[in-house]
């Protein structure tokens, strides 16, 4: 299920906006003057699907907010204020054609464990940056050095926890199902800094590191690559253990020609070489391509047939992540001046200088923090789209042009089109940059002021 159209009325008391999403090319661009609600609409959409107790919808002034889906279903939220002796009360009315309208009355009470269902507290440190487990049911939040328990963590960081663990006492099943069928991810304009526990915190308790996001993502990538290698090793062991028995059972086939087997071996060698180039596998002097066609009798053909199937199965483990890394490397190497990107299963991102021979300068390794602000913005954004967003998600990007050179902005849509196909995403962007739009005004929706 995909979102087809978004509409808001009475935004800030004056704006009415309708945003139809481009369902074919999967990229929609919002533009308009400052203060018309571009960023706010992204936050409202994220707030509906991801925030706890609709905190975002409570704080933004609007009268109605409507989401239409490609299966013709609709969610509409209407907002009313009530003045009470102890302050204002905000009531949200959720409706869908054919379903009963329900209301949700916002509460100013603090978030509590009662707002969650069976949340495994062992996941706290994985989801919340800067949180380190101390012992049974206690954690330290390193930026403030506070000792927190479950109640305190949920109160402060409840919005960060996965929505599948949240509950609203009066949320109907139809609304819960609609929200669970849609994945929305907001990439905000401030995306370059992460506060995390110091990697040596077991030796220096309470120390924190303010890391650039590229360093954090580089570590994440190294872990992803190592996880794939572990999976590769597990499947390799399983296949190797049963290899002799499967060779014995393999029946001769007229399709096992020398030419076909030789071609398959050559293709495997190309795949293996590509994975070596991407940093997954180590270079091996022994090559499958060293086996010559004239050396093949029927027994060898049978053995090679099983061997080829096994290697194809093993290497297929890397196919998805390898495609994403190749796309990331291609975009980065085409844009970053005098720098070349590669990958390592130990370090993640690797950058080296890459000068033309005419300059007679030696290439050298670069720290990730040596990258410019624009380069870091580009790398972080690309990595999030390729590796951190679930397939079939709607990704909301606020101000993608930040710190990007005009030349990079011109190529931005072209890069996004490649990524949307590879990662299977819909994109909704808010931008001020005509250089990002270029000649693709057909993808844009202009937010206008109130009718005069």
Segments making up each domain of the chain, as ranges = 1-108+178-183+389-452, 212-386
Measured in degrees and rounded to the nearest 5, phi and psi for residue 348 equal 85, -115
Check pLDDT > 50 for residue 198: no
To the nearest whole percent, how much of the chain has pLDDT over 90?
A: 40
Check pLDDT > 70 for residue 325: yes
To the nearest whole percent, how much of the chain has pLDDT over 70?
A: 83
pLDDT category at 23 given cuts 50, 70, 90 is: very high
Radius of gyration of the chain (CA): 27
DSSP reduced 3-state for 205: coil
User: For 84-121, b where at least 16 C-beta lie within 10 A, e where not — what string?
Assistant: eeeeeebebebbbeebeebebebeeeebeeebbeebee
400 closest CA partner among 2, 20, 39: 39
Q: How far apart are CA 416 and CA 385, in angstroms?
A: 9
Read off the pLDDT of each residue in 245-265 and give the average, rounded to a whole number.
85
Q: How far apart are CA 142 and CA 148, in angstroms?
A: 11
Q: How far apart are CA 67 and CA 430, in angstroms?
A: 18
Q: What is the dihedral of CA 92, 429, 130, 135, to 10 degrees?
A: 50
Quick: pLDDT tens for 377-432: 889 999 999 998 888 899 999 988 887 888 888 888 988 888 888 888 999 999 98
List Cβ<8 Å contacts ≥24 apart for 440-444: 440/29, 440/413, 443/22, 443/25, 443/27, 443/28, 443/29, 443/413, 444/28, 444/29, 444/30, 444/31
Check pLDDT > 90 for residue 156: no
Measured in degrees and rounded to the nearest 5, phi and psi for residue 269 equal -65, -35
Read off the pLDDT of each residue in 309-326 and give the average, rounded to a whole number.
95
The tokens describing 329, both together, are 């490397």
DSSP reduced 3-state for 210: strand
CA–centroid distance for 23 within its chain: 20
pLDDT category at 342 given cuts 50, 70, 90 is: very high
What does pTM read for this prediction? 0.80
Read off the pLDDT of each residue in 290-299 and give the average, rounded to a whole number.
66
pLDDT value of residue 109? 58
Q: What is the dihedral of CA 429, 425, 412, 340, to 10 degrees?
A: 130
Query: Any residues with CB less than 8 A from the CB of 438 and at least 6 apart, and which?
Result: 410, 413
Q: How far apart are CA 365 and CA 181, in angstroms?
A: 44
Q: Which CATH number fits domain 1-108+178-183+389-452: 3.40.50.360, 3.40.50.300, 3.40.50.720, 3.30.465.10?
A: 3.40.50.300
pLDDT value of residue 73? 87
């Amino acid at each position: 299920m995909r979102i087809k159209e978004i509409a808001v009325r009475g935004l800030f008391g004056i704006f009415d906006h309708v945003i139809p999403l481009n369902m074919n090319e999967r990229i929609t661009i919002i533009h308009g003057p400052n203060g018309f609600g571009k960023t706010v609409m992204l936050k409202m959409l994220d707030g509906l699907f991801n925030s706890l107790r609709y905190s975002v919808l409570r704080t933004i002034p609007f009268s109605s907010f409507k989401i239409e889906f490609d299966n013709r279903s609709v969610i509409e939220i209407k907002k009313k204020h009530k003045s009470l002796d102890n302050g204002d009360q905000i009531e949200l009315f959720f409706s869908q054609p054919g379903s009963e309208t329900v209301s949700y009355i916002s509460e100013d009470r603090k978030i509590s464990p009662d707002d969650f269902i069976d949340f495994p507290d062992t996941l706290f440190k994985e989801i919340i940056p800067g949180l380190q487990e101390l012992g049974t049911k206690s954690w330290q939040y390193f930026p403030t050095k506070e000792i927190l328990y479950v109640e305190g963590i949920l109160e402060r960081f409840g919005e960060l926890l996965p929505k599948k663990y949240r509950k609203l006492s009066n949320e109907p099943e139809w609304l819960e199902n609609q929200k669970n069928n849609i994945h929305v991810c907001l990439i905000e304009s401030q995306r370059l800094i992460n506060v995390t526990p110091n990697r040596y915190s077991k030796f220096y308790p309470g120390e924190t590191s303010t890391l650039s996001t590229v360093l954090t993502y580089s570590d994440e990538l190294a872990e992803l690559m190592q996880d794939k290698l572990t999976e590769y090793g597990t499947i390799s062991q399983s296949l190797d253990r049963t290899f002799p028995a499967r060779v014995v059972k393999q029946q001769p086939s007229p399709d096992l020609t020398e030419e076909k087997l030789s071609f398959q071996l050559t293709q495997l060698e190309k795949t293996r070489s590509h994975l070596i180039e991407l940093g997954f596998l180590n270079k091996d002097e022994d090559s499958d391509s060293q086996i010559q066609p004239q050396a093949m009798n029927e027994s060898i053909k049978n053995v090679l047939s099983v061997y080829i199937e096994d290697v194809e199965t093993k290497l297929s483990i890397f196919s998805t992540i390898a495609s994403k890394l190749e796309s990331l490397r291609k975009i980065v190497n085409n844009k970053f001046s005098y720098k070349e990107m590669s990958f390592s299963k130990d370090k993640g991102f690797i950058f080296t200088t890459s000068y033309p021979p005419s300059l007679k300068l030696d290439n050298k390794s670069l720290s990730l923090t040596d990258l410019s602000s624009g380069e870091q913005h580009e790398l972080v954004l690309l990595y999030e789209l390729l590796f951190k967003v679930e397939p079939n998600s709607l990704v909301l990007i606020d101000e993608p042009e930040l710190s990007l050179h005009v030349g990079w902005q011109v190529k931005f849509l072209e890069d996004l089109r490649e990524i949307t196909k590879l990662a299977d995403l819909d994109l909704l962007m808010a931008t001020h940059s005509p250089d990002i739009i270029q000649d693709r005004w057909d993808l844009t929706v202009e937010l206008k002021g109130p009718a005069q």
